[in-house]
């Protein structure tokens, strides 16, 4: 292939409609021409078969708008031999003309040209001219070869033609019908791409439909699952509601609960029974709020209670019996509980009263505190029974009353006297103190602590006295020791129907000497037993 580099200052402009611009991708510097060219092809198939291509000048303007450089490359094809007339050769120009044009160029134009050819641009004007001439001479064929060789298709070149991604000159040498073949390839490629696009669109559409269907199925399944969950939640709520009505104590009820508190449930919180043969005593205590009224209730059966709990000793408070009623009541006692001891109020008839009913015969029994002439013993509030290994004190502590009328008496006289009585007995045997002690010692022991700060049974004075006279003197609150974070009430006032909503107080206790606290197997509450505004509580003590 013969190639000619032409440099000229012609100002002619290419008619793009008549010629096909063909840039060449490869760029070679040195012995070969820069591989960017503009060739011309006739659209007519007959002319293309003759393969006669003329070189057309393409002008490149510098930044001042003046035409500076014209590079013409000749592309020769094996099928393109005959150039034709001399007019075609004259149109191309001669090397002598090119040298004159180079000498007429300014330094800036020379550097711009060399830069576009990828040649060095440093040096004076004469050095730049020499560099450009050397480059021309190395790329021009000798005269004989120019006149006798196959006349080439001239291709006007312009470096930096828009983009370098168009077909190269080598692509043209393989086929005269490149344009048609390339066009067919493009059409075929475009058709294939369109078909692929259509298939892809159909696939996407099908996938969308499938996803939509799947989504609907998933939504349907989720709705069914939510419906099932809602149904289960409703059933659970109904069960909780039913349970809260039948067993309200299982629902935590407190105005100011701590995060680790839980409601007491005797079905789940009581320890397993002691192994058979373990020596122990089971004591129950209950403020019956009127024994005769309780026995008249059709819903209550003392026999069933005894059979169910199988207690050894039963302590009662607030029996409200008179001395004359005791013998008649003894006749109604269950067989096996042959030992009963009753203390009745004599200062106010049908008021207060305590009793111990046992199937174990005690060693001795005392009534009151034992202080001669003491007003404390006139209300029948204390019965003390001595057994082999402990003393059992059953007491009904005076209520401070409406308006706290008896508060001073309670904390300054009663609590101190009872504490001294206990400590005296403890000198010989451990003591178990039980009964209605009429004090909710801590906030966990009352539903509404803030609203009862000046209510009898929860005043700061009563609570401090409870601690100072009993707990601080070595007695242990067995229920709280066993259940430190459990809300369990033993009293619910009739006035506001507190039992239905479990809004209660813990006023009933088993306090034991510290020496036998470790022998307590279970301290429990029986909130399911009705018949009074209090419920029974129990203690199982290993002997």
Is 318 assigned a ligand-binding role in the annotation?
Answer: yes
Q: Give me Rg for the CA atoms of the chain.
A: 58
* Identified catalytic residue from 153, 436, 508, 522: 436
Strand runs labelled E in 96-213:
153-157
Q: Within 13 Å and on the Cβ side, how many CA atoms surround 198? A: 5
* Residue corresponding to tokens 């004591």: 283
Task: Give me the torsion for CA of 283, 286, 291, 295, rounded to 10°.
Answer: -80
438 annotated ligand binder: yes
Structure tokens, 76:
């020769």
Cross-strand pairs, 340: 357
Question: Is 396 a known active-site residue?
Answer: yes
Whether residue 194 is annotated as binding a ligand: the answer is: no
- Active-site position among 135, 376, 521, 534: 534
Determine whether the annotation assigns residue 436 to a binding site.
Answer: yes
Task: Verify whether residue 528 is a known catalytic residue.
Answer: no
Partners of residue 60 on adjacent β-strands: 69
Residues linked to residue 280 through DSSP beta bridges, in sequence order:
542
The residue behind tokens 């209670």 is 305
CA distance 169 to 175: 11
Secondary structure string (H, E, C) spanning 184-242: HHHHHHHHHHHHHHHHHHHHHHHHHHHHHHHHHHHHHHHHHHHHHHHHHHHHHHHHHHH
DSSP state of 38: B
Q: 155 pairs with which residues across the strands?
A: 73
Q: Note whether 159 and 23 are within 8 A (CB).
A: no
402 is in an annotated binding site: no
Packing angle of the helix pair 460-469, 415-425 (nearest 10 deg):
20
Count of alpha carbons within 13 Å of 180, Cβ hemisphere only?
A: 9
State CA 543 to chain mean position distance. Answer: 52
Distance, in Å, from the CA atom of 319 to the CA atom of 309, rounded to the nearest integer, reads 21
Please work out, in degrees rounded to the nearest 5, the angle formed at the alpha carbon of residue 121 by the alpha carbons of 116 and 127: 120
User: Of 396, 489, 491, 524, which is the active-site residue?
Assistant: 396
Counting every residue written for the chain, the total comes to 543
What is the SS3 assignment for 419-434? HHHHHHHCCCCCEEEE
Binding-site residue positions for Mg(2+): 287, 318, 436, 438, 533-534
Binding-site residue positions: 287, 318, 436, 438, 533-534
Catalytic residues: 396, 436, 534
């Amino acid at each position: 292939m013969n190639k000619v580099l032409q440099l000229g200052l012609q100002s002619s402009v290419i008619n793009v409609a008549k010629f096909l611009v063909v840039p060449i991708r490869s760029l070679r510097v040195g012995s070969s021409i820069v591989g960017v060219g503009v060739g011309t092809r006739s659209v007519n198939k007959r002319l293309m078969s003759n393969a006669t291509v003329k070189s057309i000048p393409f002008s490149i303007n510098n930044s001042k708008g003046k035409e500076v450089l014209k590079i013409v490359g000749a592309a020769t094809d094996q099928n393109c031999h005959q150039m034709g007339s001399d007019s075609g050769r004259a149109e191309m120009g001669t090397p002598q003309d090119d040298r004159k044009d180079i000498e007429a160029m300014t330094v800036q134009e020379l550097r711009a040209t060399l830069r576009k050819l990828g040649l060095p641009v440093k040096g004076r004007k004469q050095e730049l001219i020499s560099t450009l001439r050397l480059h021309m001479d190395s790329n021009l064929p000798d005269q004989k070869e120019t006149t006798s060789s196959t006349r080439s298709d001239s291709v006007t070149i312009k470096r930096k033609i828009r983009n370098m991604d168009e077909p190269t000159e080598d692509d043209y040498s393989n086929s005269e019908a490149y344009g048609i073949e390339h066009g067919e390839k493009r059409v075929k490629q475009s058709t294939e791409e369109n078909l692929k696009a259509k298939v892809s669109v159909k696939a996407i559409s099908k996938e969308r439909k499938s996803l939509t269907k799947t989504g609907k199925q998933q939504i349907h399944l989720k709705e069914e699952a939510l419906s099932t969950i809602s149904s289960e939640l409703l059933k659970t709520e109904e069960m909780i509601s039913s349970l809260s009505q039948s067993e309200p104590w299982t629902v935590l009820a407190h105005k100011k609960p701590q995060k680790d508190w839980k409601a007491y449930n005797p079905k789940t919180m009581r320890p397993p029974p002691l192994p058979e043969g373990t020596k122990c005593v089971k004591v129950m205590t209950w403020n019956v709020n009127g024994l005769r009224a309780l026995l008249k209730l059709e819903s209550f059966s003392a026999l069933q209670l005894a059979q169910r709990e199988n207690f050894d000793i039963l302590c009662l408070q607030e029996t409200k019996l008179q001395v004359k009623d005791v013998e008649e009541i003894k006749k109604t006692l269950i067989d096996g509980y042959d030992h009963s001891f009753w203390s009745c109020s004599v200062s106010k008839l049908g008021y207060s009263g305590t009793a111990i009913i046992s199937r174990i015969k005690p060693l001795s029994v005392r009534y009151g505190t034992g202080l001669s002439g003491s007003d404390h013993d006139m209300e029948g509030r204390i019965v003390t029974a001595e057994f082999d290994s402990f003393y059992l004190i059953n007491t009904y502590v005076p209520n401070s009353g409406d308006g706290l009328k008896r508060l001073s008496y309670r904390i300054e006289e009663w609590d101190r006297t009872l504490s001294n009585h206990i400590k005296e007995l403890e000198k010989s045997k451990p003591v178990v103190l039980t009964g209605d002690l009429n004090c909710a010692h801590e906030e966990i022991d009352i539903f509404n602590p803030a609203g009862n700060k000046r209510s009898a049974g929860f005043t700061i004075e009563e609570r401090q006295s409870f601690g100072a006279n009993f707990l601080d003197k070595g007695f242990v609150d067995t229920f709280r020791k066993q259940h430190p974070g459990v809300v369990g009430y033993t009293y619910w006032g009739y006035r506001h129907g507190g039992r239905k909503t479990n809004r209660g107080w813990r006023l009933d206790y088993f306090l034991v000497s510290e020496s036998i606290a470790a022998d307590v197997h279970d301290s429990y509450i029986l909130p399911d037993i009705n018949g009074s505004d209090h419920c029974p509580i129990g203690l199982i003590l290993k002997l």
